[in-house]
Structure 1
């Protein structure tokens, strides 16, 4: 009976193992991990096997909850105390089963022979220690070395990962670096002791496309220099196709299929693999109806911030112009994309248009009413008509409130709904419209996946029946198939409710699928704008061309 359940697309040994003269540096067999929870046991990983050879990159792909990260943490010995690894599981590193190692042996292995880069560097780096001290610690834990020699090695590592002005960075704290620079620091720490294996767990998820390309190319170049083997955990298939030699596909804790990258993309065998490959954002925005009037207009909008430079004793204040006298016009039913790298001013511009932050000068009109000179209280009657959906729904949803209260709160504040029962009906309608069941009102945000939380955030926005929604990177941290669902949902809501969207993103594939027009921002200025297909197919500036190349080729 057990033989009938064997998946022919995912045997225990790789399809390309014949003819290899060397042994794998990591050979994992029959790995199964369960977690103790209140209601019993959850099977996170179910009897999977994989092999990794020196000098190559394997990719483990799948959606959130598929067991990718649990698999990596099993190899690293970083599972929580609630995790139970099945007794038949083996993870051989150079012929020795690391699952049988003592905790002391594991510590010696971790960060020395096997290193890991985590998805979110801000939560992996200690905010109260300088970058230099954290890298020095990673070196001295495994090497007998003086502090001075370790500091020199740290400087050398920062140069190796191409951080600008590396000597100054050693004395800075994580919050003083950009997302891409923090990720480079994590790579430097992972490479501190010249490991044999580097595990990269979603290393570029929340980064701009150009920074993503730089980080992945950096890992590949360092791999070639140092002869490392790399396990790349990701849900971005463009990245997988470009950077991996062999691909493992996981779903619900099971291995669905594996093959060489070329063979898997050319001829996927399992239905789930075909589904993943078909989940790339597709389609185009429907043409606008004739005679749509303007719902939002900005004229010469300027926003600047005063930043502190210099030393503690000789501070010097300088102005940073985040939005440099920009014009914008958004029509009803239209989706306008704003794209650009981190720090280009996209989010600041969007928030200024909604009067969530004050603009220094310029004029803003909503439904032909001037709002640039309105006070906070004077803006309140318009708030229900203009809403915002943020990038990270987990930080924008109150963790102490159940879903029902989170959505109802906006109705109460804006005086919408005659009584509790009418508001409850609106809350349920909004949830159903956002593709969520109506019976989740008493559940809390942490009980949902990333995609479900984003749907709840969208439900909260549409419950107020707005005419305009600012979408600030609403799909950047979501799996491909969940991205596709959110795009379909936004299209459906636009059709049904005649919504207008201002869509801020660095993911040009999503922008191409959802937007009518696109504006490209750099250093607070709009350097190119036009119909989405024209701008993405025939970019007129080198910057836009670089963004397009990074998004669609990752090379």
Structure 2
């Protein structure tokens, strides 16, 4: 049987930035209806290469290819007017962060209507009907009422569904999806991917899926391209590439996949000191008060009880909106409980005197999800790390500087970083600085709120290993808040599973991961793509139970 004529044929594509070649002559083809994954770490050039197809490149970055043929036409010969006609109608793009790609000043209805006005001859009534039908198709209920809402009124998963609806409305022949599920929890990630690929199958579209998550692309892509520092180092069918990776970089990416830690010493942990304990905690949010109507109350957390012992890592797992970050904020003192108690080393924090409160604030530190927004952009790394030490009366300037150097070394960064600003660091380096700031005063308890959600798999593995090593050294207790079950099995001793503000399951990590009891936990694990190591060194996608 003859191979179909490629929908897309790329030959020797180069992308240059400031006289530096960042994509180095890559060539590939894409068949109609095919799903092609482009994987690699941040900075590998995968996004720039794919955006160059439709000339959506930042100022100062240029691209050139020996040939760039899409659906029989040479993309390099198109003028700006022809490119505008092609974007959306011929090649659509689902961007990584819908909040930054959707216009915050325009309603969803107007934004979805824009593409139809530009590329179709439909009447206003026909366009509205098509928009509502597509929003319902992507799983948004009561779609007509959503048209007048703004992007900030939607959750992350809902915004991503809106982005998919905007792209699919024009029925393009090719969709480029750039990290479409990076910041989404495992349930929403599964729903979004299944939705996007079912819609593309219906319309006969091909898909280029840009990602750093090999487990996820193994489930959905028929072929994988691996990029490293601008070079295409390997490409093959998904099954063959995973079963027998040829390039050392591909093998390194696969080696960064989650590996379950050895079972903890349960007896030691059970006899360790309880650092924090929550008992029957409820957290309610009051809505807006209206004329002649009482304010509505949202129960974010309902009757949650658990403790975390010294030297122990407890993972708090759940989908977005389950209440896990709310609990983290309560423990850190950012919120107050509506009822229930929080105890630190056996003493109730709610009834504590000033001395105990000061001790608790010093002993409880938090590693934020996004270190770029939590690190002061106007301060050097040395100043950021020294700031918590300014409150230590017994430390002079020389002692503070020595401690800053010590902690930088402990997190794998050298003295060269002392005089750098946060924007001069990579994502992984910034997260190391955030960890250094959290441990610099030897705290008893650390809250790690999604500390690896936006990092590449290789960097994620490094950060998780660093956290575990530092915990073994300092002995702090850790509440690890995440939706990433792969990260959980690498670091957690116990797992707590939350659904809609309720703690539905808890237990030792091995017990919960291998024999989940609650239907919600079972559903979470079913949605998690897992690559199983083979005896000869490759990997195979593990089939999930129905």
Question: TM > 0.5 between the two?
Answer: yes
**Structure 1 gap segments, 5+ residues each:** 1-18
User: What is the match of residue 333 of structure 1?
Assistant: 311
Match of 1:307 in 2: 287
Corresponding residue for 2:48? Answer: 70
**Structure-2 change in CA distance of 1:540 and 1:140 (3 Å):** same
Please tell me whether residue 159 in structure 1 is matched to residue 136 in structure 2. yes
- Indicate whether 1:131 and 2:108 are aligned: yes
Question: Counterparts of 1:237 and 1:376 in 2: how far apart (Å)?
Answer: 50
Which ranges in structure 2 are unaligned for 5 or more consecutive residues?
A: 531-542
Tell me which residue corresponds to 2:536: none
Q: CA deviation at 1:366?
A: 1.1
Report what 1:44 is aligned to: 22
- Given the superposition, is the C-alpha separation of residues 138 and 308 from structure 1 closer, same or farther in structure 2, using an over 3 Å criterion? farther
For 1:146, the equivalent position in structure 2 comes to 123
Moved more, 165-174 or 90-99: 90-99
Alpha-carbon distance between aligned partners in 1 of 2:9 and 2:312, rounded to the nearest angstrom: 52
Matched position secondary structure for 1:460 = helix
Q: Relative to structure 1, is the Cα distance of residues 190 and 331 closer, same or farther in structure 2, using a 3 angstrom cutoff? A: same
Structure 2: how far apart are the matches of 1:552 and 1:67? Answer: 25
Alpha-carbon distance between aligned partners in 2 of 1:370 and 1:64, rounded to the nearest angstrom: 45
- If the length of structure 2 is used for normalisation, what is the TM-score? 0.93
Bigger CA drift: 166-175 or 470-479? 166-175
Q: Would you say 1:33 and 2:29 are equivalent positions?
A: no
Distance (whole Å) between structure 2 residues aligned to residue 459 and residue 227 of structure 1: 50
User: SS of the counterpart of 1:45?
Assistant: strand
Residue equivalent to 1:7:
none
User: Helix, strand or coil: the match of 2:130?
Assistant: helix
Query: Which of 253, 272, 275 is the equivalent residue of 1:295?
Result: 275
Alignment of 1:387-536 (within 5 A): 387-412=365-390, 414-415=391-392, 418-536=395-513
> CA 1:376/1:129 → structure 2, altered by over 3 Å: closer, same or farther?
farther
Deviations 1:180-239 (A, max 9, x none): 110000001111211000000000011010111111111111111100000000111111
| Counterpart residue number, 2:320 | 342
Could you tell me which residue of structure 2 aligns to residue 53 of structure 1?
A: 31
In the alignment, does 2:191 pair up with 1:209?
Answer: no
Deviation at 1:380, TM superposition (A): 3.1
Asked whether 1:541 is paired with 2:521, we answer: no
Q: Return the match for 2:342 from 351, 364, 380.
A: 364
Moved more, 343-352 or 435-444: 435-444
- The Cα of 1:315 is off from its aligned counterpart by 6.7
Equivalent residue number for residue 97 of structure 1: 74
> Cα deviations across residues 232-267 of structure 1 (Å, max 9, x unaligned)?
001111111110011100011111100011110111
Q: Do 2:282 and 2:337's aligned partners in 1 also have CA atoms closer than 8 Å?
A: yes
Q: Are the counterparts in 1 of residues 40 and 226 from structure 2 also a CA contact under 8 Å?
A: yes
Q: CA deviation at 1:377?
A: 8.7
Measure the CA separation in 2 of the matches of 1:380 and 1:20: 74
Output the CA distance in 2 between the equivalents of 1:154 and 1:488: 47
The DSSP-based 3-state class of the residue aligned with 2:296 is: strand
Moved more, 279-288 or 164-173: 279-288
1:355 matches 2:333? yes
Residue 519 (structure 1) shift: 0.6
For 1:477 and 1:126, the matched residues in 2 are separated by 23
Structure 2 CA distance for aligned equivalents of residues 203 and 359 of structure 1: 35
Cα gap change, 1:268/1:417 in structure 2, threshold over 3 Å: closer, same or farther?
A: farther
Alpha-carbon distance in 1 for matches of 2:195, 2:491: 31
Q: Deviations over 1:475-518 (max 9, x none)?
A: 11111111111111011001111121100111111111110101
State yes or no: 1:184 paired with 2:166.
no
Note the C-alpha offset of 1:375.
7.8
CA distance in 2, matches of 1:213, 1:295: 36
Contact (CA 8 Å) 2:448, 2:479: kept in 1 or not?
A: yes
How many pairs were matched up? 529
Q: Distance in 1 between matches of 2:379 and 2:459?
A: 24
Say if 2:218 is the partner of 1:241: yes
1:259 counterpart residue number? 236
Distance 1:72 1:165 in 2: 35
Q: TM-score, normalised by structure 1?
A: 0.92
Q: CA separation in 2, counterparts of 1:376 and 1:550? A: 46
Aligned partners of 2:3 and 2:385: how far apart in 1?
Answer: 60
- Structure 1 pair 447–97 and aligned structure 2 pair: CA distance change class (3 A): farther
Shift of 1:376: 8.3
Cα distance between partner residues in 1 of 2:351 and 2:145: 42
SS at match of 2:288: strand
* 1:6 aligned residue: none
Give 2:534's aligned residue: none
- Partner in structure 1 of residue 255 of structure 2: 278
Query: C-alpha distance in 1, partners of 2:411/2:125?
Result: 57
CA distance in 2, matches of 1:43, 1:341: 40
Q: CA deviation at 1:20?
A: 4.1
